[in-house]
Amino acid sequence: MCGQLNDQVVSYALRALKRLEKRRPDQAAVAVGARAAAKIEGEGRTVEAIVDVPASINGINAAVEEVLKREKPDFVQIDYSLEDRTAEKRVLPLASEVKAAVLTALPFGRARLFRAVRGKEIPDWARDFSDSWAQFFLKFLLGDPRVTAVIPGTSNPEHMTDNLGAMRGPLPDQDQRRRMVTFIEAL
């Protein structure tokens, strides 16, 4: 396992490892950070390797790249959003190459994207695939074939309902995704 250090990821990884245990009993975990390793070992799993947690997003991406190259994990979790596309350069292509599933966190850039579009209407050209800004941001990620799942994270039922709307209707194609990037960069 590699990616964000939080209890949700560790819980997800442990559930995934339990499911995989039946098919691949020799599977070991790779953890980013000692905290994740301790939780995984506390569940009786073997931690094959621990990658130190870097202080910057570039360092985190470098650590994820290292794990992808060396360990070829089943999945990784990365920060990826319309405003932070750092992972597009090397992490996403490498994950695709090693056939690792990609879970994306922080799809709204810690709400920075919502602040950037506050008071603005969704562009007419995006109305075919988005009914809200949340769906616009989520569908950008879902439209990337290398992304397996997006983790928006909310405790607000209205936001959750809106986020689920991103699973309905068409996804933006590559030209529309480029247009989305241009739109956000121009704000």
CATH number of the structural domain spanning residue 5: 3.40.50
Residue 29 has pLDDT above 90, yes or no: no
Sorting pLDDT into bands at 50, 70 and 90, what band is 8?
low
Dihedral sign (CA 78, 82, 88, 93): positive
Query: What tokens does 2 get?
Result: 């590699």
4 three-state secondary structure: coil
CA 118 remoteness from chain centre: 24
Q: pLDDT tens, 102-119?
A: 999 899 999 999 999 999
Residue 156 has pLDDT above 90, yes or no: yes
Q: Of the candidates 73, 91, 106, which is a domain's last residue?
A: 106
Residue, of 49 and 145, whose pLDDT is higher: 145
pLDDT band, very low/low/confident/very high, at 49 (cuts 50, 70, 90):
low
The whole-number average pLDDT for the span 52-73 is: 74
101 touches 74 (CB < 8 A): yes
Q: State pTM to two decimals.
A: 0.74
- At 63-110, the pLDDT tens digits run 889 889 988 988 888 999 999 999 999 999 999 999 999 999 899 999
Could you write out the three-class secondary structure of 75-135? EEEEECCCCCCHHHCCHHHHHHHCCCEEEEECCCCCCHHHHHHCCCCCCHHHCCCCCCHHH
- Considering 106, 123, 155, which residue would you say is the last residue of a domain? 106
| Domain identity same for 115 and 158 | yes
Domain extent for 170: 108-187
- Residue in the block written with tokens 């992808």: 68
Same structural domain, 128 and 99? no
Q: Identify the domain boundary among 83, 106, 129.
A: 106
Q: How many Å apart are CA 50 and CA 175, to the nearest integer?
A: 39
Residues 157-186 pLDDT 10s: 999 999 999 999 999 999 999 999 999 999
Contacts of 12 (CB under 8 A, 6+ apart): 103
3-state secondary structure of 104: strand
Provide the pLDDT for residue 4.
44
How many structural domains is the chain composed of? 2
Q: Are residues 129 and 142 in the same domain?
A: yes
Question: Are 87 and 17 part of one and the same domain?
Answer: yes
Do residues 98 and 120 share a domain?
no
Assess whether 76 and 91 both reside in one domain: yes
Contact predicate 127/99, CB 8 Å: no
Pair 16, 100 in one domain? yes
- The verdict on 120 and 180 lying in the same domain is yes
